[in-house]
């Protein structure tokens, strides 16, 4: 039976590997070799990796790929993507190529407002709290002047502070709802530092406010934290063309446009489909967010909340046909940064940003939104024409052959064979066994 370990964080890397291999794996020697194979102790970059998080044992690699030929606002991009799922990069590239000669992608940043909140309990007269807040607001802003001065010099800082009352949902619950402009930084540390100071100032000022009773002065701060829901940090990406330019897989443009719109309409109306529809969008978004060193978990949470903003989870993309013009677009909240965090530390992140021609945070928002729109277009294009499995399974073929232990020669033969045959697990296994039995 395994027993708890004391002081694991103080062990050396080798000791950590030894302990986990001996106590939690079936073949300790093989496990140690695997962990050591993906760890590069002689490289300077390894020290950076080891300090990103705690208790590191090794590195977990994901493929780093490029989807080329993205024309965005008349500028050509090759988009870095870090992802493990078969067909994502191929699908994005195919969508980029499709729209390259049809006007490309157009994007607009609709807002860059980020949000943080001080959550607190106040059990007194709400009218008194409102009056108190009017006096408090200038003091709150002044209290963080040392934190905000550099951000303000660059054009950012605090945009507004509002008092919000949620007493009907939770007795006594109120919040300071604060909005920020953080420019090219994602801004989490900046926002959280401001919020924690707001909380201190709130409690201090309450103690000396003459209109409060002794009980009302005892404001309880529950927590101070940024929100990953940023509905006003919004970007729009779109494509459009005459339906006659949409002829696809032998399907007339008018028919193809109508099929695409119907597929989007279904995802807007029905949550089961909407979840998978939006998951495909996130294949593109997450891959670029990860490649550029941003927080894909925060992005995911905020985007899925936005997809449910009208009371039902729904499609993030939209399709419209008017005057024989097909229009396909997405509006999505994205809080991203191109300075700070991993962007200045991880060598591949720095390379990804260089490949993207050193974008500002606003430009990165637009690129990421385009990746999501392209991915969705490619998925729907397959679904309403050939079906999703034809392209996906062919991309998955090599993974299947590797799992089955195929040799390089066998893989080469089978890749050729399945150009004209349906890929399923059973058909691949049967074809491999046929070659091996010769």
Strands 325-333 and 173-181, by their bridges, are unpaired
Eight-state DSSP code of residue 103: T
Q: With beta carbons less than 8 A apart as the criterion, state whether 308 and 257 touch.
A: no
433 φ, ψ (degrees, to nearest 5)? -60, -35
- 279 as an active site residue: the answer is yes
How many Å apart are CA 336 and CA 243, to the nearest integer? 34
Q: Tell me the HSE value of 85 on the side-chain side, using a 13 A CA sphere.
A: 13
Single out the catalytic residue among 50, 85, 113, 270: 85
Nearest-angstrom CA–CA distance, 157 and 149: 8
Residue 84, Cβ neighbours under 10 Å: how many? 10
C-beta neighbour count of 205 within 10 angstroms: 19
Q: How far is the CA of 402 from the CAs of 20, 212, 391, in angstroms? A: 28, 71, 18
Active site residue 295: yes
DSSP assignment of 388-421 equals: HHHHHHHHHHHHHHHHTT--HHHHHHHHHHTTSS
- What is d(CA 304, CA 308) in angstroms, rounded to the nearest whole number? 7
Check if 322 is active-site: no
User: What angle in degrees, to the nearest 10, is found between the helix axes of 253-269 and 361-383?
Assistant: 110
Question: How far, in whole angstroms, is CA 11 from its chain's centroid?
Answer: 34
Sheet holding 157-165, edge to edge: 157-165, 173-181, 114-121, 220-227
Single out the catalytic residue among 128, 137, 279, 304: 279
Instruction: Say which residues have a Cβ less than 8 Å from residue 418's Cβ, sequence separation at least 6.
Output: 394, 397, 427, 428, 431
146 half-sphere exposure, CB direction, 13 A CA radius: 4
Respond yes or no: is residue 168 known to be catalytic: no
CA separation for the pair 241, 328 (Å, rounded): 9
Strand order in the sheet with 234-242: 106-109, 234-242, 325-333, 317-322
Annotated catalytic residue: which of 295, 346, 363, 394? 295
Could you give the residue numbers annotated as active site? 85, 279, 295, 392
């Amino acid at each position: 039976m395994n027993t708890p370990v004391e002081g694991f964080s103080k062990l050396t890397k080798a000791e950590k590997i030894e302990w986990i291999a001996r106590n939690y794996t079936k073949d300790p020697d093989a496990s140690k070799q695997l962990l050591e194979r993906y760890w590069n102790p002689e490289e300077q970059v390894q020290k950076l990796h080891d300090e990103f998080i705690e208790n590191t044992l090794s590195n977990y690699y994901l493929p780093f790929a490029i989807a080329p030929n993205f024309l965005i606002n008349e500028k050509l991009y090759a988009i870095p993507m870090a992802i493990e799922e078969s067909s994502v990069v191929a699908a994005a590239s195919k969508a980029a190529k499709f729209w390259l000669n049809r006007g490309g992608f157009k994007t607009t940043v609709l807002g860059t407002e980020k949000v943080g909140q001080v959550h607190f309990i106040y059990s007194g007269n709400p009218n008194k709290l409102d009056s108190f807040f009017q006096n408090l607001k200038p003091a709150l802003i002044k209290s963080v002047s040392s934190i905000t001065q550099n951000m303000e010099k660059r054009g950012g800082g605090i945009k507004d502070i509002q008092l919000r009352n949620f007493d009907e949902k939770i007795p006594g619950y109120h919040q300071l709802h604060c909005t920020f402009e953080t420019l090219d930084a994602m801004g989490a540390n900046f926002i959280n530092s401001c919020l924690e100071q707001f909380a201190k100032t709130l409690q201090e000022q309450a103690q000396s406010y003459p209109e409060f009773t002794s009980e009302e002065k005892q404001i309880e701060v529950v927590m101070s934290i940024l929100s990953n829901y940023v509905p006003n940090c919004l970007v729009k990406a779109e494509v459009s063309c005459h339906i006659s330019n949409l002829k696809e897989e032998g399907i007339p443009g008018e028919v193809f446009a109508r099929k695409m719109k119907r597929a989007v309409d279904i995802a807007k109306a029905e949550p089961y489909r909407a979840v998978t529809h939006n998951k495909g969008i996130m294949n593109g978004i997450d891959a670029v967010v990860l490649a550029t060193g941003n927080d894909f978990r925060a992005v995911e949470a905020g985007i899925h909340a936005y997809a449910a903003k009208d009371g039902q989870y729904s499609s993030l993309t939209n399709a419209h046909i008017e005057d024989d013009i097909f229009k396909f677009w997405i509006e999505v909240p994205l809080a991203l940064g191109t300075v700070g965090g991993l962007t200045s530390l991880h060598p591949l992140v720095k390379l990804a940003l260089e490949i993207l021609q050193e974008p500002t945070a606003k430009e990165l928002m637009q690129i990421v939104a385009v990746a999501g729109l392209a991915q969705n277009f490619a998925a729907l294009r397959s679904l309403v024409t050939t079906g999703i499995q034809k392209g996906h399974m062919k991309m998955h073929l090599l993974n299947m052959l590797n799992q089955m232990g195929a040799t390089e020669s066998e893989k080469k033969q089978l890749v050729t064979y399945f150009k004209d045959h349906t890929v399923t697990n059973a058909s691949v296994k049967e074809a491999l066994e046929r070659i091996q039995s010769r």
